[in-house]
Amino acid sequence: MYHLTALVTLLAIAFYFFTCIYVSRSRSKTGVKAPAMSGHPDFERAFRIQMNTLEWMPIFLPALWLFAIYVSNAGAAAIGAVWIVGRIVYFIGYSQAAAKRGPGFAIQATAAIALWAGALGAVVLRLV
């Protein structure tokens, strides 16, 4: 069973939901009315946090599950947890200033690439 990977998946979705709420609150706080996508820098950073998280979900989630299936459920969950921590670090940094987003981005990108590379390697090994 893949309970650990399922838990990480649910936590990733919860984090994404949190970023959606953050954007909504930022929109209200800064006065950026829908459908505007720009205006106040605080809103723009909040929006980019949400969108960047969304952009990485289709990379992260399939890689997470393929790693769990072909390599290790616990390993996938551990690396997936690192991805979530990276997204949180990204959120904190980018919320303060665009220049502070790098460390969180690097953490989550490294975790996603590790999941993808591990899954790819395991699948290829089974094919040969």
Q: Encode pLDDT of 73-91 as tens digits.
A: 999 999 999 999 999 999 9
| pLDDT of amino acid 116 | 98
Average pLDDT, integer, range 40-58: 98
In a 3-state reduction of DSSP, which class is residue 80?
A: helix
Average pLDDT, integer, range 60-82: 98
In a 3-state reduction of DSSP, which class is residue 101?
A: coil
Band (pLDDT 50/70/90 cuts) for residue 42 is very high
Band (pLDDT 50/70/90 cuts) for residue 118 is very high
In a 3-state reduction of DSSP, which class is residue 70?
A: helix
Q: What CATH number should be reported for the domain whose range is 3-127?
A: 1.20.120.550
Global pTM?
0.96
